[in-house]
Structure 1
Amino acid sequence: MKISVLYKFQSGPWGGGNQFLKALRHQLTQMGQYEENPRKADVVLFNVYPFGAEYLFREAVKIKKEFPNKPIVYRLDGPLFLYRGRDKDIDLIIKKFGDAVIDGIVFQSKWSMEQNKTKLGISAPYETYIYNASNNQIFNDKNKSPYNLRQKIKIIATSWSANWNKGFKIYRYLDQNLDFLKYEMIFVGHSPIEFNNIKWIKPLPSKELAQILNQQDIYITASQNDPCSNSLIEALTCGLPAVVLNDGGHSELLGKGGLTFINESDIIEKIEAVANNYSSYRCSLPTFSIDKAASDYHQFCKKIVDAVNKKGYQPKEITAVSKLSFFSIRIRAWKWKFWTKFRSKFI
């Protein structure tokens, strides 16, 4: 049984979803379970937002028309409106599209599944959640620098996005209040603010980022409503205990590999606690294997295919009702684009 990923892949430094899907595609290929052509695959794994790659939505509909028995599975995070603080229309478009076309959903965390279902009513005949994983050939702790209390404790935060909800209020607080005689901190990625004490490094390719992570001691993320932080997973996989905002899917991923914080009032206290009990947290780090993630995706998709083959499930078909739904999606998408352009120019 072979899977094809319907997604606009990007080369070089890019967002976490892109990096995960490249690793997943590579691992499925190694397993002999990947098909580049979605029309030849047994299952299509769809991972697209309705803006930026709209043609892939149209492509998914075409595939459904041509191959009505071919299941389409949506890899979904969000809800997006919680993370962005706006753009709920995008989530609602995804729901409409899912109701008409999608046979299964892989949410990226339990938190994401619960929030999408309760706040948006997003569901599918087949559902599960599977955590992301990084490319373990790149992100690993084989070259991890030893922890040395005689030197400054090295802290790192990363973010591809410069969205304020990625935690920049907290990072600015640390820039102003962290004891830089005891700690040093770097930030890798895009940022909406300048730092005075934190060293800022622009986005890096995965191999270079992994090298820097291996040289650090503690990872910090303060991103809000983040369903399954690929950046956090990369850091944990590189052997870094973490201090994370108690929000979104962070605590699910962290397990016993660090501590959660609430806001500015307790973050430095939690950093000190991890630094003082470093070996204990280091030994309790969770593991994220791309091998396991790929196997879980394959098993979930195979479950749907087996049900189809045994006549236990009939994949969704393009009907007159779904065509009407696609028309309403286009109208909603047009309104969203118009409002977004208006907002960027005049608000």
Structure 2
Amino acid sequence: MKISLGVKLRRGPWGGGNQFAQSLANYLEQRGNQVSFDLSAPDLDLILLMDPRDRGNSAAYRDGDVVRYLRRNPGALVIHRINECDERKGTKGVNQRLEHANLSADYTVFVASWLRELYANQNRINRESIVILNGSDRQIFNPGGYRRWTHREPLAIVTHHWGGNWMKGFDIYSRLDDYVGSQPFSHPIAFTYIGNLPDGFTFRNANYLPPRSGSELADSLRQHHVYVTGSQFEPGSNHQNEGANCGLPLLYRNSGCLPEYCAGFGIEFQTTDFPDRLQEFIDTYDIWVERMPAYPHTSAACCARYVELFETLLDRRAELVRDRSARLSDWERLEWKTQPVRQANRVARKVRRLSSQLARRLPRLTD
């Protein structure tokens, strides 16, 4: 198979989409497939559209580029991997934008069942699709070196995020910061946060580490006992997978994809009952840690499902190509209607970026 993945790979700490693309590319190449990250090859079999929004930081191409490519190579199949929603950061327009882009695709992959239901309930994307859960690389994120809690030292709690948006769970992490100072539980706790922070936010009592990735991140996670995630409306995150595959049982919020990924491997909490659930975790840690070797969400399992899907879709190529014409016509009508708005948004983003750069330079210019 000749496959294009629509992402610009980055080195070092970056978001989960980058890690997914790297794992999938390696998995495909190890099995004799050809992988690229652009649309230059004239004879691609499959295109995995990952982020069609007008962003330059991670997207290799958008849906308009895919539609133009299909005019040159109509035999290529397009799979749209949806891993985003407005609910995650309180934005507007993301769901609508992905609905538009999805018209360019022959098939859809959602990274969690709740995300598929979200789009279906909004009457945005209701056609044939599949859910493939994300997973982390067990060659890096594994329990080798993880030391179980002996109950003689503070229970070491950790989390990590690349994004510094408040909805990543900072209402919960702020409370943990307070708990480290007040120690209201039956046993002392410690808390470490790894990653980016919201603008202006600092911890008073917790340990803070800057963003890490790969083996350095895995080593840091294994120095703790419990992984907590308070993230809200996560489309299909990978951070909990990295913690769990390092052997840490999970304390997770009942929100977004987290129950689907974490159920059976820790304790779920609501915003209102977090202290009670943390105390319950302290009391039952030994039960949960025994379950962690069976945690199923690995990159190998995830990639195997993608390869299985790719092969199944190629067997249906003639049918899928035949059924796309009306959908592409709908895409072109929407493209024509929304193009002026997107162009205005691009200009506005550029103005904001330039204004921010100028604001940072002004103090130096006036010294």
Native 8 Å contact 1:68 1:316 kept in 2: no
Corresponding residue for 1:232?
A: 240
CA deviation digits over 1:247-304, x for unaligned, max 9?
10101101211011111x4222212222322232123332212222111111112222
Assess if the C-alpha contact under 8 Å between 1:27 and 1:290 holds in 2. Answer: no
Equivalent residue number for residue 98 of structure 1: 102
Aligned counterpart in structure 2 of residue 267 of structure 1, from 274, 280, 284:
274
Q: Which residue of 2 is the match for residue 308 of structure 1? A: 317
- Is contact 2:252–2:268 with CA below 8 Å preserved after alignment? yes
Give the partner amino acid of 1:3: I
Aligned to 1:217: 225
What's the counterpart of residue 359 of structure 2? none
Unaligned runs of 5+ in 2: 357-367
Q: What is the alpha-carbon distance in structure 1 between the residues aligned to residue 98 and residue 25 of structure 2?
A: 23
Gaps of 5+ in 1: none
Residue aligning to 2:145: 143
The amino acid across from 1:132 in the alignment is N
Q: CA deviation at 1:34?
A: 4.0
- Correspondence for 1:18: 18
Cα distance between partner residues in 2 of 1:52 and 1:142: 38
Q: 1:86 to 1:322 in 2, by over 3 A?
A: closer
TM-score by length of 2: 0.85
Aligned to 2:89: 84
Give, in whole Å, the separation in 2 of the partners of 1:148 and 1:336: 54
Higher relative contact order (CA 8 A, sep 6+): 1
Written as runs of structure 1 = structure 2, the 5 A alignment for 1:110-125 is 110-124=113-127
Q: Is the 8 A contact 1:112 1:227 kept in 2?
A: yes
Mapped partners of 2:245, 2:7: distance in 1:
25
> 1: CA distance between counterparts of 2:120 and 2:80?
14
Task: Give secondary structure in 2 for the equivalent of 1:73.
Answer: strand
**What's the counterpart of residue 47 of structure 1?**
50
Is 1:75 aligned to 2:77, yes or no?
no
Work out whether residues 6 and 60 of structure 2, in 8 Å CA contact, stay in contact via their aligned partners in 1. Answer: no
Secondary structure, in 3 states, of the residue corresponding to 1:35? strand
Native 8 Å contact 1:144 1:238 kept in 2: yes
SS where residue 56 of structure 1 aligns? coil
Partner of 2:299 in structure 1? Answer: 290
Q: Secondary structure at the match of 1:277?
A: helix
The answer on whether the counterparts of 2:52 and 2:61 sit within 8 Å (CA) in structure 1 is: no
Tell me the residue number matched to 1:183: 189
- 1:28-67 → structure 2 map (5 Å cutoff): 28-36=28-36, 38=39, 39=41, 40-53=43-56, 56-57=61-62, 58-67=64-73
Bigger drift between 5-14 and 170-179 goes to: 170-179
Provide the C-alpha distance between the structure 1 equivalents of 2:338 and 2:18, rounded to a whole number of angstroms.
25
Report the counterpart of residue 364 of structure 2 in structure 1.
none
* Superposed CA offset, 1:85-105 (max 9, x none): 122x22212211212x11111
CA distances 1:210-248 after superposition (whole Å, capped 9, x unpaired): 001111111111111002221011111111111111110
2:306 partner SS: helix
Deviations 1:71-129 (A, max 9, x none): 10011123x21111122x22212211212x111111001011101121251244x4101
TM-score by length of 1: 0.90
Q: 1:156 to 1:300 in 2, by over 3 A?
A: same
